[in-house]
Chains A and B, each alone.
Chain A
Amino acid sequence: MIRFVATRLFAIVPVLLVVAVAVFLMLRLTPGDPAAVIAGDSATSEQIEQIRAGLGLDKPITTQFVIWFSGVLRGDLGESFFFKRTVASLIAQRVEPTLALALCTIVLAIVVAVPLGVLAAWRHGGWLDRALMGFSTLGFSIPVFVLGYLLIWLVSIKLQWLPVQGYRRLEEGLWPFFKHLILPSITLSVIYIALIARVTRASVAEALTEDYVRTARAKGLPELAVVIRHALANAAVPIVTVIGIGLALLIGGVVVTESVYSIPGLGRLTVDAVLARDFPTIQGVILLFSVAYVLINLLVDLSYLVLDPRIRY
């Protein structure tokens, strides 16, 4: 198993390299000049040139890439074009909100979706099943921001139960922290709930047709125990798989949710950086997301060891 983990960890480097090259090229090859954006209103062309040189943008692309990527491998993500700060410190400032939102969303999604999926599988083919699956498809179809605005209007404005926007760091108190995350998590989790519920239903339904389930029932085990201990446990692998896959959806949703609820996280940082043509920040954040994606998938694969004793690495 150690070899498995080690191989996978080493495999991150080529992935990182591909991501780095892709993002780097994409940024450098687009029209639009960060030096001009930084130079501001009244800069002369000489001033723009000087700024460009200062940012290292006048060197050939390959040189720029080597300089940047070698820095990355040492842990140095460079300095933002705009804010006199390292990209690392900008990211560090924004990580907590995004992480908090993402984890709250996943927890909420699992807690809601798995029971729903199990229920649908148990009553496979019945009206409950169809209703739940109908809602699931609906959940995929509503744009996140429409849902967000509807929730804010209903819960924050009309009922005044929860705050409209913003984020409170954990050190400002546990309740304020959660209070500000409830609506955003609900908004974002809808897609995730839809996805997990479907997969749960499909795999549990299939597991329920297996022989060992019939055996368990024949042994006289109560239905609940049958469902949970046997069917669900055996369906865990596909469920966890889809959680990993859904991460991509989650990141997209995070960007929008942070925008609607004005949460100062990585999603908003990326959008702001893109609009400001802050290349180092864009590169840094995308690289970070990519590494996170790869690591999560690795964790998912490792979790199979726990969930399915048949799997060995």
Chain B
Amino acid sequence: MMLHLGAWLLLATLVASHPHASAQVIRMAPQSNLTVLDPGWTTAYITRNHGYMIYDTLFGMDGKGKIQPQMVDRWSMSKDKRVWSFTLRDGLAFHDGKPVTGEDVIASLSRWSKRDAMGERLYSFVDKVEADGAKGFRMTLREPYGLVLESLGKPSSYVPFIMPKRVADTPADKQISEYVGSGPFVFAKDEWKPGEKVVYLKNTRYRPRSEPASGTAGGKVVKVDKVEWLIIKDAQTQANALAAGEIDMIETPAFEIYESLKKNPQVQIVNTVPLGYQAMIRFNHLHPPFDNAKVRQAAMAALNQPAFLRTQVGVSELYRTCFSIYPCKTPYESGKGMDFIAKPDMKRAQQLLKESGYDGTPIVIMQPSDLLVIAKLPVVGAQLLRHAGFKVDLQAMDWQTLLARRAKKDPPLKGGWNVFFTVWASVDAMLPVGMNAVNANCDKAWFGWPCDPTLENLLASFARTEDDKERRSLAEQVQVRAMEIGTHAPLGEYLIPVAARKNLKGFVTGYVSVMWNLTKQ
């Protein structure tokens, strides 16, 4: 530092810069700052995306929703459907050169299963997992389970990334401190400037699959030398930087600048996640007034999907209403049991609220003021609920604080909460068993902690059956029951496309955003 100071104060001779000749760099403004580097620690998408850069997965989900092998070369299932054997591909190695073995996989999956709901469910069926030679592993179940591959290939948080055993052995209540994976990029730790930029280098040792990239499956071919994530918080600044060519890509441009970006002849809008995202409201079942199912129903009757979507997104080509807890145009979409949401009626909401015996307890609604793609939902929600007769306390905070606060079971006025709004990748809501919101196992459920044995039984039945018709019927029953007890309410779907300079090509479409396969001309 003293050296820099000296050079500058003396206004020394022009320090010529020697940019690396022909080093191809892609610069992206990510959706938020990257603070947590452990993808098993938080479901935040920024950490998940970081995970996809440097780690690899056993299976992936291609652009059509099918589970495909990624690190796995071949696998088989025993006749009684209880023993699953997997063999890894040749040439898989971690960034420090060591080959990936079954032991690494076992440790990684074990760590993942302690945090992820779907992983937990899988491991509740598992008797033991053991290594099988240098490049294989075997999973023995207590009884057949129809969602093994869907669990191992799940695209979104928590993702079962494969880490070296020594890293995966970090207890689940501590963050990992070493960032070594076997993925297509290498994390350049000494170039990382927290809050400023994250740097990834091409992993020259990576052996991609031969199939074309699709979703998180196929060949993860990196065609540039370096990818930089530049943390630019301000949406207009992001847009200005993209227009000026100072960055190549904005991961999640705010909807307010969408139109101006679209008009720019050097910018292209790419929809890399066609299924999009589902918005929802979540109630806290532990504390009044939302510990009363009737109050929850009154709230749901006041919610008006078009109002939320038009305010938050505004660009009509990017949103659509969807009156099902499953994403529209996916197998389990159904309209049953969705009366409150499909036909919002403020008068009915006011009536229901009166009948429920609501006593005027103020409800604490948390608003994440810095996560622009969802920041407006709580404001609309607050106003609608006010009109329905609720006393509303809208509290603005940053997303990190919201994440911490929503985990608290304290009473709302003592650091807890009553309502929050969020958005998740629709792929996470495709299956009832993978959808965090409908878990109703009380204390261990997702934040909001609904408690309903009926719903839990339906989910367990779904997990056990493999019959398509039965699955569909059970999924519908799950929806009806979930809306009856008010676990949450869907608020519509929207796309969050990527904005990039026109010279960036090779975007991979799927259910999450990935950065391999991109070229810059």
Which residues of chain A have a CB within 8 Å of any CB of chain B?
A: 31-33, 36-44, 46-47, 50-51, 82-85, 90, 92-96, 99-100, 149, 152, 156-157, 160, 163-166, 169-176, 259-262, 264, 268-269, 272, 275-277
5 pairs of residues in contact across A and B, judged by CB atoms under 8 Å? A83-B35, A93-B194, A152-B240, A166-B246, A173-B15
Are A93 and B196 touching (Cβ within 8 A)?
yes
Q: How far is the CA of A50 from the CA of B246 in the complex (A)?
A: 43
- The count of chain B contact residues (Cβ–Cβ below 8 Å) is 48
User: Which single residue of chain B is at the shortest CB-CB distance from A32?
Assistant: B401
B415 contacts chain A at the CB level, 8 A cutoff: yes
- B355 contacts across to A, CB distance below 8 A: none
B46 contacts chain A at the CB level, 8 A cutoff: no
Are A262 and B400 touching (Cβ within 8 A)?
no
Are A31 and B403 touching (Cβ within 8 A)?
no
Other A-B pairs beyond A157-B240, A259-B234, A262-B233, 5, CB < 8 Å: A41-B447, A96-B4, A156-B240, A169-B4, A275-B400
Contact of B405 among A36, A174, A264, A276 (CB under 8 A): A36
Are A39 and B17 touching (Cβ within 8 A)?
no
Are B240 and A165 touching (Cβ within 8 A)?
yes
Contact of B244 among A85, A149, A156, A172 (CB under 8 A): A156
Contact of A173 among B17, B231, B400, B415 (CB under 8 A): B17
Q: At the interface, is chain B mostly helix, strand, loop or mixed? A: loop
- B177 contacts across to A, CB distance below 8 A: 84
- A31 contacts across to B, CB distance below 8 A: 415
B507 contacts chain A at the CB level, 8 A cutoff: no
Are A172 and B17 touching (Cβ within 8 A)?
yes
- A152 contacts across to B, CB distance below 8 A: 237, 240
Contact of A164 among B35, B246, B405 (CB under 8 A): B246
> What is the distance, in angstroms, from B510's C-beta to the closest C-beta of chain A?
23
> What is the distance, in angstroms, from B416's C-beta to the closest C-beta of chain A?
11
- B180-199 vs A: 1/0 string, CB under 8 Å? 00000000000001111100
Given A156-B244, A171-B15, A268-B237 contact (CB < 8 Å): no
B467 contacts chain A at the CB level, 8 A cutoff: no
Are A165 and B15 touching (Cβ within 8 A)?
no
Q: How far is the CA of A40 from the CA of B17 in the complex (A)?
A: 41
Are B15 and A166 touching (Cβ within 8 A)?
no
Q: How far is the CA of A264 from the CA of B398 in the complex (A)?
A: 19
- A259 contacts across to B, CB distance below 8 A: 233-234
- A84 contacts across to B, CB distance below 8 A: 177
- A85 contacts across to B, CB distance below 8 A: 194
Which residues of chain B have a CB within 8 Å of any CB of chain A?
A: 1, 4-5, 7-8, 14-17, 33, 35-36, 41-44, 115, 173, 175, 177, 193-197, 230-234, 236-237, 240-241, 243-244, 246, 370, 398, 400-401, 403-405, 407-408, 415, 447
Are A43 and B195 touching (Cβ within 8 A)?
no
Given A33-B404, A264-B196, A40-B36 contact (CB < 8 Å): yes
- B14 contacts across to A, CB distance below 8 A: 173-175
> What is the distance, in angstroms, from A104's C-beta to the closest C-beta of chain B?
10
- A170 contacts across to B, CB distance below 8 A: 4, 7-8, 15
- B244 contacts across to A, CB distance below 8 A: 156-157, 160, 163-164
Are B17 and A176 touching (Cβ within 8 A)?
yes
Given A164-B240, A170-B15, A262-B237, A39-B404 contact (CB < 8 Å): yes
> What is the distance, in angstroms, from B194's C-beta to the closest C-beta of chain A?
4
Are A40 and B42 touching (Cβ within 8 A)?
yes
User: Which single residue of chain A is at the shortest CB-CB distance from B197?
Assistant: A264
> What is the distance, in angstroms, from A288's C-beta to the closest C-beta of chain B?
13
Are B407 and A41 touching (Cβ within 8 A)?
yes
- B193 contacts across to A, CB distance below 8 A: 93, 264
- A90 contacts across to B, CB distance below 8 A: 194
Q: How far is the CA of A164 from the CA of B15 in the complex (A)?
A: 23
Q: How far is the CA of A236 from the CA of B376 in the complex (A)?
A: 53
Are B173 and A50 touching (Cβ within 8 A)?
yes
Are B42 and A41 touching (Cβ within 8 A)?
yes
> What is the distance, in angstroms, from B255's C-beta to the closest C-beta of chain A?
19
Contact of A36 among B1, B175, B234, B408 (CB under 8 A): B408
Are A268 and B195 touching (Cβ within 8 A)?
yes
Are A37 and B7 touching (Cβ within 8 A)?
no
> What is the distance, in angstroms, from A211's C-beta to the closest C-beta of chain B?
40
Q: How far is the CA of A51 from the CA of B172 in the complex (A)?
A: 12
User: Which single residue of chain A is at the shortest CB-CB distance from B1?
Assistant: A92
Q: How far is the CA of A171 from the CA of B16 in the complex (A)?
A: 8
- B17 contacts across to A, CB distance below 8 A: 171-173, 176
Given A47-B173, A165-B246, A272-B42 contact (CB < 8 Å): no
> What is the distance, in angstroms, from A38's C-beta to the closest C-beta of chain B?
8
Q: How far is the CA of A42 from the CA of B370 in the complex (A)?
A: 21
Are B232 and A165 touching (Cβ within 8 A)?
yes
> What is the distance, in angstroms, from A196's C-beta to the closest C-beta of chain B?
22
> What is the distance, in angstroms, from B102's C-beta to the closest C-beta of chain A?
27
- A37 contacts across to B, CB distance below 8 A: 400-401, 403-404
Are A100 and B8 touching (Cβ within 8 A)?
yes
Given A100-B8, A164-B241, A164-B246, A42-B404 contact (CB < 8 Å): no
